[in-house]
Amino acid sequence: MNGVVIVDKPAGRTSHRVVQDVRRVLGIRKAGHTGTLDPLATGVLPVCLGEATKLAPFLMEGIKEYRTTLLLGTTTDTMDREGRILSSREVYASTGDIEEVIPRFIGRIRQVPPVYSAIKLQGEPLYRRARRGEVVSSPPRWVDIFRLDVEDVRLPYLTLRVTCSKGTYIRSLCSDIGDALGCGACLTELRRLRNGSFAEGNSVSLEGMSPEEARKVLLEAMIPMAEALGIGIRAVSVEPDEVRRIRDGGQPRVDTFRGVDITFLAPGDMIKVLNVQGELVAVAKMLLSSERLLTEKGDVQAAKLLRVFLPSSIDRNQ
């Protein structure tokens, strides 16, 4: 059983618990998600099954989109409503103040992740150290905020829609916006609307379902591995003999691309290698350009394998 299912994670559950639930319902051993959501968060959580767990590094790279609600005037040690309150003050910010501050956080910004986060220091997550009372800090990082739209202002609550890069901490963004407004803030609600090519419309909720119902829903919603990689990665279809050679560890050669539409490929481009049935065989990185593929000898290596996938019929992970 190889593929990706997009679960609408409910509030109050860890991402790890959601993966465990999916694994138990489907009766498989190997599963994993492509990016943690905090327990209080809801929304899009891609879960990779079987051989699709090898896709996780590629699926993590996509743009993320969230809807978040801030409580202005309140700060906590976790930067969300579940933490210990550090300060509480009156909110004098106006809608005009908010409209003036928001554009400062669009573009490439420097962000300090929360101390209550899964970022590791000397191999241990920061949140464990923080819970022991240790004074910890995380080095700042650069993240990209592509869009930041005000959806609703009902002071002291402010709801934003955020489109951002991988690695962005929405709790830190909320806290920083509160500081810029002079009153502080913490996150009270968070919903992930999109993770790469996966959106709310692709997700399924398993709440209130029996195991039999949940299994049926998950199987119907499962996305094949080749499709899960999205349309942004060029597909190269190969014959059965070449499939066997690649699965045995043979690198894609110039001959692999004979008779294939290879225009506009450049060194470094990612490709997905498919069999004639359209199933994913491998993910590879191009070493040669389209032009060089036309002139090099057939046995010259043309791409470097990054991941190779077993066919479902011999999947050892079920």
Enzyme catalytic residues: 38
**Position 115, amino acid:** V
For residue 47 the two structure tokens come to 């879960």
Q: Which residues pair with 198 in a beta bridge?
A: 195
Cβ 181 vs Cβ 93: under 8 Å: yes
**Looking up tokens 């800090």, which residue turns up?**
137
Q: How far is CA 59 from CA 47, 213, 227, in A?
A: 10, 27, 12
Q: What's the burial of 303, exposed, middle or buried (CB within 10 Å: 0-12/13-18/19+)?
A: buried
For residue 101 the two structure tokens come to 């501050």
3 state DSSP class of 277: coil
**N-terminal to C-terminal alpha carbon distance within the chain:** 7
